[in-house]
Chains A and B, each alone.
Chain A
């Protein structure tokens, strides 16, 4: 069974930093591209960042570019999101989401499995 479990969320002051983790199990993590998607309270979904299976391709939404860094450790079956210079508008539930199986990074594809999310609150 595919499982994605996020952790690392919490309350942080504006300008602060936080590192989110996503522990994957039930599939060969190193073969899949992974993503972070967020949802502000009462709002819709927003794609944040994607990373290919070997970390060769990395993409960011304009809203987080230069402040967030996505990374992965295939040996630990884990995905990360380092968030710096946090702003109030970064307050959201952050979901880890998997791409479907491909032999390449597919920029056009969808998210086939999602974690339960971790809440990040940026407030003084």
Chain B
């Protein structure tokens, strides 16, 4: 059971905007620790999508954006495309756990 909670699924039509929340607590996101996001296409390894709350690695389209506020973070996908159908995970640090890095529960994005 993860300390970072995400909705199991979100969906949208092509061209729409969808958002994925990552809800934590005062020992992780709320303590100011950065949130990072990964995209996992079906049958493939995860890929870094957003780091440091809102930064995109080279090659990631600007349709993907991240933000953080209080004890939560969000990933937004604007202009949803068929190839965005994937699982998305947030990741951060939790000071209450002996293991330093934690992932969110994961969200399946479906393009209708």
Contact = CB atoms under 8 A, between A and B. Distances in A.
B24 interface: no
Contact of B99 (A47, A110, A112): A47
Contacts of A111: 36, 38, 46, 48, 91
B100 A117 contact: no
Interface stretch (A8-16, A24-32, A57-65, A78-86): A57-65
SS class, residues of chain A in contact with chain B: loop
Given A44-B2, A108-B93, A115 B100 contact: no
Given A45-B106, A114-B47, 18 more contacts: A44-B2, A44-B103, A44-B105, A45-B91, A47-B101, A47-B103, A50-B101, A62-B98, A95-B45, A100-B51, A108-B33, A108-B93, A108-B100, A111-B46, A111-B48, A112-B51, A113-B48, A117-B45
Interface residues of B, number: 27
A33 B34 CA distance: 18
How many chain A residues sit at the interface, stated as a range, is 20 to 34
A46 interface: yes
Contacts of A114: 45-47
**A-B residue pairs, 5 tightest by C-beta:** A110-B36, A44-B106, A61-B99, A114-B45, A45-B103
11 contacts: A44-B103, A45-B40, A45-B89, A45-B106, A46-B103, A47-B100, A62-B98, A95-B45, A110-B36, A112-B51, A117-B45
Most buried by A among B45, B48, B93: B45
Contacts of B106: 44-45
Interface of A: 35, 37, 44-47, 50, 59-62, 65, 95, 100, 107-108, 110-117
Nearest to B44: A116
Interface in B40-58: 40, 44-48, 51-52, 57
A41 B70 CA distance: 33
Contacts of B2: 44
B102 interface: yes
B105 to A, nearest CB: 6
